[in-house]
Amino acid sequence: MVFAITQSGETADTLAAMRECKPKGHPTLATCNVVGSTIAREADGGIFLHAGPEVGVASTKAFTSQVTVLTLYLGRLRNMSYPAGQQIISHLQAMPEVIRKTLECDDQIKACRSSRSICSHRSVRSRCNCGHTRSPCFAVATWTGPEIWPRVSPSSDRPSDAIHVASDGQECPAYTATIMAGNSFGQAFRITTAGESHGPGNVVIIDGVPAGIPLTVEDLLVDLRRRRPGQSKIVTQRQEDDLPEILSGVFEGRTTGTSLAILVRNQDQRSRDYDDIKDKYRPGHADFSFDAKYGFRDYRGGGRSSARETTVRVAAGVVAKKILREAFGGEVVGYVVQVGDVKANIPDPAAVTMSQVETLPNGEPNIVRCPDAEAAARMIELIESVRKVGDSIGGAAEIVATNIPAGLGEPVFDKLKADLAKALFSLPAVLAVEYGIGFGCVTMRGSEHNDLFVPKQNGGGSSAAVAGLVTTSSNRHGGMLGGISTGLPIVLRAAVKPTSSLPIEQATVTRAGEPTTIKTKGRHDPCLLPRFVPMAEAMVAIVLADHWLRWQGQSPTQNS
């Protein structure tokens, strides 16, 4: 279909393009502001905007209306729910008030525009309370993302990548304005999280959840309890109930298709444990890098960089897992494969079940979440030994996604493997990610590494006809070729570093750069792996659900 977007309905190049396409059999839909115009008459279908008279050569309001109409039209084609469309319309109806408030700032904008220092910067502006006495001052910060506006914070003791300009053109050095962007992840299935380790709680907003999916608090609790602190002797003893509250997006036990909001409150913070380290940098933590970027940090438990933030990611992962199961029976299972030098023997990763991960053969809880019972016992012994001496230990987890259809992912920048790697690297303490044979490929010949294509024994069962007939004799490619899933199990591994917070004395420096020592108080995991498993499962499921929904939007009839 050809979409002809025109204000007057007489635009020469648009009309010529439409006339070129019609003989080739392409249907044409015109969005136009003038009834009876040439394009309106010659198009197969038309949408009249009634946006008012044209102003100048190009009418911004008409163009905006046209883009809005097309957005809503494409949303309906891609099965956007009625509530989601109403939400978009409500935002559009609020725009006049937003524009009015913006226009009230006209004099301030003109004053900033005249400054000699702003012209060469791609920037945004916010009010600065620096005490500049000659005239109003505005902080101008380098724009780092579309989600939030800058937060101005004091930092007179370090160089600034932002510029602060008074309306008389003089620079003000007192403040730096840097925002913390990057709080959202995904495209069609998109999560946005907020919260810190020692704040009131953590919340996630999930966009793109299809309507009609069964969802209750009890569903969320299953994985949240697997992630919960205090669950065994080999994890942190911080006691949190981690009871989720569904704030929106669910009615009578089913999702409504609108934004889903989930809150998990913090209950057992002991912020006093961190009073002694507020001016010191903890080795291995984000203290220094946060200070270097923002000039301000929440030293209580790491604030935003704490793994406490992953509570709501795990909740979002539950929703993503439900989408995968309902769409094609997809499952995501993670488990620990290594702690220190203790390695598990897992002959077939795709055969590992959740019951093997959570329960030992004797019926006792598998507190280390390793399906190899003999290795699990040695892992627990190793973790307890390092905990007793005030140290910690790292390891690796494996995450396997099964029943995933061929065709998820894009071939260049949005490769499925790239998004999965980003998802796992976004989790705290992850230092390396591999998939399939991973780093084992460096010693192999091509003839050894290639997975040979063979006929599929049973045939069928795939959303793509060719994928229903073909498979490979092995899975060294980890279920992905060219950045696109092949229908075989997706197998990933993540290396997790030892916990950085230690109760033993270590050398460090203060914020002023003076040498000192530090001993971290508080309750920390001697090994992150047992609680890392549900976090990793959640992020893998979120990526797969996102790519599935994106593919459905690209080709809904093929994948229905």
pLDDT at 156: 37
Residue 174 has pLDDT above 70, yes or no: no
Q: What percent of the chain has pLDDT over 70?
A: 79
pLDDT at 431: 98
Residues β-bridged to residue 254: 214, 251
Instruction: Give the CA angle between residues 130, 131, 136 to the nearest 5°.
Output: 85
Residue 281 has pLDDT above 50, yes or no: yes
Region of 232 (left: φ > 0; alpha: ψ -120 to 50; beta: rest) is: beta
Region of 182 (left: φ > 0; alpha: ψ -120 to 50; beta: rest) is: left
Q: Which tokens in the block code for residue 98?
A: 């937003």
Lowest mean pLDDT among 15-29, 120-134, 262-276, 530-544: 120-134
Q: Which contiguous run of DSSP H or E holds residue 416?
A: helix 416-425
Output 62 or 189, whichever has higher pLDDT: 189
Q: Which fold has domain 184-554?
A: Chorismate synthase, AroC fold (3.60.150)
Output 14 or 143, whichever has higher pLDDT: 14
Output 79 or 61, whichever has higher pLDDT: 79
Amino acid (one-letter) located at 542: I
pLDDT band at 507 (very low <50, low <70, confident <90, very high): very high
Residue 305 has pLDDT above 90, yes or no: no
Q: Which tokens in the block code for residue 343?
A: 């390695």
* Alpha helix positions (H), 47-133: 60-77, 82-93, 95-103, 106-113
Say if residues 428 and 310 touch (Cβ distance below 8 Å).
Answer: yes
Cβ count near 391 (within 10 Å): 14
Residue 112 has pLDDT above 90, yes or no: no
Residue 102 has pLDDT above 50, yes or no: yes
Q: Which tokens in the block code for residue 297?
A: 């940090």
Examine domains 2-82 and 184-554 and report if their fold is the same.
Answer: no
Residue 145 has pLDDT above 50, yes or no: no
Residue 148 has pLDDT above 70, yes or no: no
Q: Which contiguous run of DSSP H or E holds residue 495?
A: strand 490-496
Per-residue pLDDT tens over the stretch 429-486: 999 999 999 999 999 999 999 999 999 876 444 444 466 789 999 999 999 999 999 9
Residue 375 has pLDDT above 80, yes or no: yes
Q: Which contiguous run of DSSP H or E holds residue 289?
A: helix 287-294
pLDDT at 114: 57
- Parallel/antiparallel/unpaired status of strands 190-195 and 184-185: antiparallel
Residue 107 has pLDDT above 80, yes or no: no
If you average pLDDT over every residue of the chain, what do you get?
Answer: 82
pLDDT band at 130 (very low <50, low <70, confident <90, very high): very low
Per-residue pLDDT tens over the stretch 154-173: 333 333 343 344 444 444 44
Between CA 77 and CA 68 the distance in angstroms is 14
pLDDT band at 70 (very low <50, low <70, confident <90, very high): confident
Alpha carbon dihedral 547, 551, 554, 556, in 10-degree steps, equals -140
Residue 541 has pLDDT above 90, yes or no: yes
Say if residues 413 and 482 touch (Cβ distance below 8 Å).
Answer: no
Between CA 247 and CA 263 the distance in angstroms is 7
pLDDT band at 327 (very low <50, low <70, confident <90, very high): very high
Domain coordinates of the chain in residue numbers? Answer: 2-82, 184-554
**What is the pTM for the complete model shown?**
0.70
**Mean pLDDT, residues 272-296:** 80
- Parallel/antiparallel/unpaired status of strands 395-402 and 331-339: antiparallel
**Mean pLDDT, residues 492-496:** 99
CATH of 2-82 given 3.40.50.300, 3.40.50.10490, 2.60.40.180, 3.40.50.150: 3.40.50.10490
pLDDT at 32: 82
